[in-house]
């Protein structure tokens, strides 16, 4: 059985919503006049963020998904990023925004960005809700970041701990405890 833990709220649902509104305004300004923006969610962690973000975007939008994995169910990042599911649509000559939940070591987003850039999109930009710069192993900077956070173990709003807690409406911090608790 896994070690018991509790989840302390780190970023409220209200703060996330307010930040997404502001980010959407910046994205709108950057892609104003686009024919159609292809918003690419990196599965699985981005599914909540992309759902909220596209609904704030007053632009013609197509939604696609790509799945890459670097962690499996463990907590240690490997350097090899595998593409588990590719895009359905074509992005050549299109404006693309890659949506990620969190940048940790940077391997995932940097390798997925290189992979999609090789398909010659017109413009390719990246956004991540959370950024942990202290953990960075590769030199990668997203175009937009929701919140910079310390090196904490976070869950919720799409982010999991061993495939649990993705459905929390806020970003929480995992705190292990020796006392038995009812973890969500």
Q: Are 100 and 42 in contact (CB under 8 A)?
A: yes
The reply on whether position 95 binds ligand PRP by CB under 6 A is no
Note whether 100 binds ligand PRP by CB under 6 A. Answer: yes
The tokens for 83 are 């593409």
Cα–Cα distance, 39 to 17 (Å, whole number)? 18
Please choose, from the candidates 35, 30, 25, the residue with its C-alpha nearest in 3D space to the C-alpha of residue 56: 25
Shortest spacing between CB 89 and ligand PRP, in angstroms = 20
Nearer to ligand PRP, 120 or 164 (CB): 164
Provide, rounded to whole angstroms, the least separation between the CB of residue 58 and ligand PRP.
27
Handedness of CA 113, 15, 74, 132 (dihedral sign): positive
Applying CB under 6 A, among 16, 96, 97, 101 the residue interacting with ligand PRP is: 101
47-76 binders of ligand PRP (CB under 6 A):
69-71
Residue selected from 16, 37, 96, 103 as contacting ligand PRP according to rule CB under 6 A? 103
Q: Give the whole-angstrom CA distance, residue 113 versus residue 97.
A: 10
Q: What is the token pair recorded at 59? A: 């632009």
Shortest approach of ligand PRP to residue 35 CB, angstroms?
A: 28
| Catalytic residue check, 104 | yes
Considering only the stretches 14-22, 33-41, 42-50, 53-61, report the one whose residues sit in contact with ligand PRP under the rule CB under 6 A. Answer: 42-50
* Residue 21: alpha-carbon gap to chain centroid: 16
94 is a site residue for ligand PRP (CB under 6 A): no
Q: Using alpha carbons only, how large is the chain's radius of gyration in Å?
A: 17
Enumerate the active-site residues: 104
């Amino acid at each position: 059985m896994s070690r018991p833990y509790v989840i302390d709220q780190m970023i409220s649902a209200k703060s996330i919503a307010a930040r997404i509104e502001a980010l959407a305004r910046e994205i709108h300004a950057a892609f104003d006049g686009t024919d159609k923006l292809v918003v690419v969610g990196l599965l699985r962690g981005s599914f909540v963020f992309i759902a909220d973000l596209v609904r704030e975007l007053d632009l013609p939008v197509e939604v696609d998904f790509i799945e890459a994995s670097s962690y499996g169910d463990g907590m240690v990042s490997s350097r090899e990023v595998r593409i588990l599911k590719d895009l359905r649509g074509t992005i050549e000559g299109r404006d693309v925004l890659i949506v990620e939940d969190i940048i940790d070591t940077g391997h995932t987003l940097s390798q997925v960005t290189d992979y999609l850039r090789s398909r010659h999109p017109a413009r390719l930009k990246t956004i991540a809700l959370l950024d942990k710069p202290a953990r960075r192993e590769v030199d990668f900077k997203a175009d937009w970041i929701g919140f910079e956070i310390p090196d904490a173990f976070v869950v919720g709003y799409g982010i999991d701990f061993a495939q649990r807690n993705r459905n929390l409406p806020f970003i929480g911090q995992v705190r292990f405890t020796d006392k038995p608790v009812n973890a969500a």
